[in-house]
């Protein structure tokens, strides 16, 4: 089990020049604000930021493992019904820790995992056409217990289950993860007697990957949930240090904030040089964007704050986005996700030894090619004056992923202090939800609907 590393050599002025890189003085001057931010965040561990303690919820890990063991072999499919923070962690964990081909041929006794985090009728309709709900268990995940997309999907699949299995029979195919007391889903759990897991207070959606929201579906598809929590706990211990150089979350948060605030880099590109980590980049995009993208500061002033997250996949996006990244505007910084030891090396055969364009590859491995492409991109970005850091894992395993989730969550919480915004709410998302309720004719939202209709500008269309 090894510690993940945050290498920030190439965000420094020594590497990319003083116009785009941070000087030692700039970083040193941020040591004290960083330590204060850490004190402020960790000081809320026992009150409202309960997600900081998720790594130590051994009883929760046991509960999900027991449930997974009790249903092993019963279902062909685990279907997550959830969205945003109630879905992105599930996807990221599955992509990181199971085979990319898991759903085509799952290991014996394990189900496939589908995360239906959209109400696009073609996505859901196609699922209904192809998969038998009677072979599936539906994990309905919602912190609020009332999100329209999740509730709509739950109603749909509940009825399909009842049609196939009857009212009594359908109940074993639903397992709910929601608040202990509040929300429509909790009320439904009480009425139906569904198996249910609790999302504890102080564990907001996007900070809940290590809660039952992320762990239950993981345990069902064979992921080592104890290893995830152990990795997160090890990272938590590292991240108690108040010195930048000893604490990867503190350094990561400082680099992100200073590159944005002092060097004009509003775009944060997470460039995953690992197929396994590609959905971690998407999970982080939500964590960063929804936590820090805020109109108001904590004292109520308009600040319109927040970095813009972008996710990219190496090598694939080298042939689509790197041209822009190396020669386009100087408005971005990059975090490369790197893996030292992929599970496979994959040797290339020798052929066409008389053709230099093919011969140099013979006898080398895809691992070497992939890592050379990654390192080549790092060199190209650095030489073009584009600050870039690397978050490196020795291997992609549960322990490393637990560390990665925790360090990025804590880093974003620290950035909330630096940007002086509330990193734990999402008023902009709520506004859209309310508008959707109004447009769907939900009781109590009639006035909002009338307002939307009154304020609609005259249509301008090209038909």
Binding mask 375-414 for ligand PA5 (x = CB under 6 A): ----------------------------------------
Tokens of 366: 């895809």
CB of 152 to ligand PA5, least distance (A): 12
Nearest CB to ligand PA5, comparing residues 57 and 144: 144
Q: Among 307, 426, 438, 445, which residue sits at the site for ligand PA5 (rule: CB under 6 A)?
A: 426
CB of 260 to ligand PA5, least distance (A): 21
Nearest CB to ligand PA5, comparing residues 147 and 272: 147
Question: Which region, judged by CB under 6 A, interacts with ligand PA5, from 18-26, 127-135, 199-207, 388-396?
Answer: 199-207
Nearest CB to ligand PA5, comparing residues 89 and 227: 89
212 interacts with ligand PA5 by CB under 6 A: no
Give me the helix-helix angle, 225-238 and 398-419, nearest 10°: 40
57 interacts with ligand PA5 by CB under 6 A: no
Enumerate residues 128-167 that contact ligand PA5 by CB under 6 A: 142-144, 147, 150
Nearest CB to ligand PA5, comparing residues 100 and 428: 428
Q: How many residues line the site for ligand PA5 (CB under 6 A)?
A: 15
Tokens of 411: 């880093």
318 interacts with ligand PA5 by CB under 6 A: no
CB of 211 to ligand PA5, least distance (A): 11
CB of 55 to ligand PA5, least distance (A): 19
Cβ-closest residue to ligand PA5?
A: 205
Enumerate residues 254-293 that contact ligand PA5 by CB under 6 A: 290
Binding mask 89-128 for ligand PA5 (x = CB under 6 A): ----------------------------------------
204 interacts with ligand PA5 by CB under 6 A: yes
Enumerate residues 429-458 that contact ligand PA5 by CB under 6 A: 429
Nearest CB to ligand PA5, comparing residues 150 and 270: 150
Q: Among 49, 83, 215, 404, which residue sits at the site for ligand PA5 (rule: CB under 6 A)?
A: 83
CB of 433 to ligand PA5, least distance (A): 8
Residues that bind ligand PA5 (CB under 6 A): 83-86, 142-144, 147, 150, 204-206, 290, 426, 429
């Amino acid at each position: 089990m090894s510690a993940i590393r945050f290498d920030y050599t190439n965000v420094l002025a020594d590497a990319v020049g003083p116009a785009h890189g941070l000087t030692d003085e700039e970083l040193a001057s941020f040591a004290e604000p960083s330590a204060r931010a850490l004190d402020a965040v960790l000081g809320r561990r026992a009150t409202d930021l309960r997600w900081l303690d998720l790594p130590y919820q051994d009883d929760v890990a046991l509960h999900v493992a027991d449930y997974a063991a009790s249903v092993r072999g019963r279902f062909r499919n685990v279907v997550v019904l959830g969205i945003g923070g109630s879905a992105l962690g599930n996807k990221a964990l599955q992509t990181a820790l199971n085979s990319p081909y898991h759903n085509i041929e799952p290991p014996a006794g394990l189900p496939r995992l589908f995360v239906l985090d959209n109400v696009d009728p073609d996505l859901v309709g196609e699922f209904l056409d192809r998969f038998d709900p009677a072979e599936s268990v539906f994990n309905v995940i919602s912190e609020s217990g009332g999100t329209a997309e999740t509730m709509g999907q739950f109603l749909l699949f509940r009825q399909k289950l009842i049609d196939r299995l009857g009212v009594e029979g359908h109940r074993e195919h639903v397992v709910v993860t929601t608040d202990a007391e509040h929300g429509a889903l909790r009320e439904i759990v009480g009425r139906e007697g569904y198996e249910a897991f609790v999302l504890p207070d102080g564990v907001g959606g996007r900070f809940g990957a290590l809660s039952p929201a992320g762990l239950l579906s993981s345990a069902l598809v064979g992921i080592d949930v104890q290893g995830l929590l152990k990795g997160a706990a090890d990272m938590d211990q590292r991240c108690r240090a108040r010195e930048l150089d000893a604490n990867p979350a503190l350094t990561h948060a400082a680099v992100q904030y200073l590159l944005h605030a002092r060097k004009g880099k509003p775009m944060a590109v997470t460039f995953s040089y690992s197929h396994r980590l590609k959905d971690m980049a998407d999970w982080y995009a939500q964590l960063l964007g929804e936590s820090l993208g805020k109109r108001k500061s904590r004292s109520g002033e308009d600040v319109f704050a927040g970095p813009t997250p972008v996710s990219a996949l190496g090598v694939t996006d080298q042939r689509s986005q790197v041209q822009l990244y190396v020669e386009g505007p100087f408005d971005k910084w990059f975090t490369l996700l790197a893996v030292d030891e992929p599970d496979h090396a994959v040797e290339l055969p020798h052929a066409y030894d008389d053709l230099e364009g093919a011969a140099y590859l013979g006898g080398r491995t895809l691992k070497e090619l992939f890592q050379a492409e990654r390192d080549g991109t790092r060199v190209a970005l650095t030489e073009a004056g584009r600050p870039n850091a690397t978050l490196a894992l020795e291997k992609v395993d549960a322990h490393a992923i637990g560390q990665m989730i925790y360090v990025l969550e804590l880093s974003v919480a620290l950035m909330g202090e630096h940007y002086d915004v509330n990193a734990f709410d999402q008023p902009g998302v709520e506004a859209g939800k309310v508008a959707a309720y109004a447009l769907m004719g939900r009781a109590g939202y009639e006035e909002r609907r009338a307002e939307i209709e009154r304020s609609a500008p005259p249509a301008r269309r090209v038909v």
